[in-house]
């Protein structure tokens, strides 16, 4: 089974977010950044990753439908023009 782009890219971004949140935790724990800023950035980033996932899924579905239509039209053309 091939790994889909709509799954791989968001997973990579989630790992990146986890690493960056871990690095930023020291700043938050020391009081140099507010809770709103720290958790707000994490929340907005998660929302963008989820939106990216659904957008990539939609693009994959449209591409698959387009390729299926092209294959169907090629089969019809071959049957009609022997």
Q: How far is CA 27 from CA 13, 21, 48, in A?
A: 21, 10, 23
Q: Which pLDDT belongs to residue 43?
A: 98
Q: Is 10 exposed, middle or buried (0-12, 13-18, 19+ CB in 10 A)?
A: buried
Specify the residue for token string 């009081």. 31
Where on the phi/psi map is residue 4: left (φ > 0), alpha (ψ -120 to 50), or beta? beta
Q: Which residues of the chain fall below pLDDT 70? A: 81-82
Q: pLDDT tens digits, residue range 25-40?
A: 999 999 999 999 999 9
Write down the pTM of the prediction: 0.82
């Amino acid at each position: 089974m091939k790994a889909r782009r709509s799954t791989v890219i968001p997973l990579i971004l989630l790992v990146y977010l986890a690493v960056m949140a871990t690095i930023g935790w020291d700043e938050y724990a020391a009081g140099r950044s507010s809770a709103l800023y720290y958790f707000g950035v994490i929340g907005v980033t998660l929302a963008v990753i989820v939106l990216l996932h659904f957008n990539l899924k939609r693009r994959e579905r449209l591409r698959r439908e387009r390729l299926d239509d092209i294959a169907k039209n090629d089969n019809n053309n071959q049957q009609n023009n022997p």
